[in-house]
């Protein structure tokens, strides 16, 4: 299966602060799976700390919105907690990465669903 984006939609009981304990493992695995780990390990730790600061205060974090192969975005939504990963083209790597992140979230008992290709901007023309 190929997909351009994987959308993680959490159970309505999940809040941003509930992601704090899993975020280090989740973000590190995302960077490793997408080969975007910074050459300097300290740079990755700074990115993680910036996001953790927001999560611990129950605020929406930035995620990984930098130029690269794949991005991890926490969108502004009226209710609930969501994030998505996306690339500019449909790839099997998107699916593989999303499934890996989903296993980590399941391990930490964070109820969620994953939906594919829900971005209106990149919707396939029929």
Instruction: Specify the CATH number for 3-116; select among 3.40.1350, 2.60.40, 3.40.50, 3.30.70.
Output: 3.30.70
Backbone φ/ψ region at 24: left (φ over 0), alpha (ψ -120 to 50), beta: alpha
40 or 19, greater pLDDT: 19
Q: What string of DSSP letters covers the chain?
A: --EEEEEEEE-TT--GGGGHHHHHHHHHHHHHHTT---SSHHHHHHHHHHHHHHHHTT----EE-SSSS-EEE----SSS-EEEEEEEEEEHHHHHHHHHHHHHHHHTT--EEEEES--STTPPP-
126 or 61, greater pLDDT: 61
Q: What is the pLDDT of residue 121?
A: 57
Per-residue pLDDT, averaged over 2-29, amounts to 96
3-10 β-sheet, strand order: 63-64, 71-73, 82-91, 3-10, 112-116
pTM: 0.89
At 92, is the pLDDT very low, low, confident or very high (cuts 50, 70, 90)?
Answer: very high
d(CA 124, CA 64) in angstroms, rounded, equals 24
At 126, is the pLDDT very low, low, confident or very high (cuts 50, 70, 90)?
Answer: very low
Question: Nearest Cα to 23, choosing from 87, 104, 80?
Answer: 104
């Amino acid at each position: 299966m190929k997909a351009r984006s994987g959308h993680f939609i959490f159970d309505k009981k999940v809040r941003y602060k509930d992601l704090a304990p899993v975020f280090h493992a989740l973000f590190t695995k995302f960077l490793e799976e997408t080969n975007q780990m910074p050459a300097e390990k300290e740079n990755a730790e700074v990115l993680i700390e910036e996001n953790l600061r927001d999560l611990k205060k129950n605020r929406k974090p930035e995620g990984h919105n930098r130029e690269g192969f794949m991005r991890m975005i926490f969108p502004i939504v009226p209710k609930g907690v969501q994030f998505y990963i996306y690339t500019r083209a449909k790839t099997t790597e998107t699916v593989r990465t999303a499934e890996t992140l989903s296993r980590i979230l399941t391990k930490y008992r964070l109820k969620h669903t994953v939906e594919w290709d829900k971005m209106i901007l990149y919707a396939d023309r029929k």
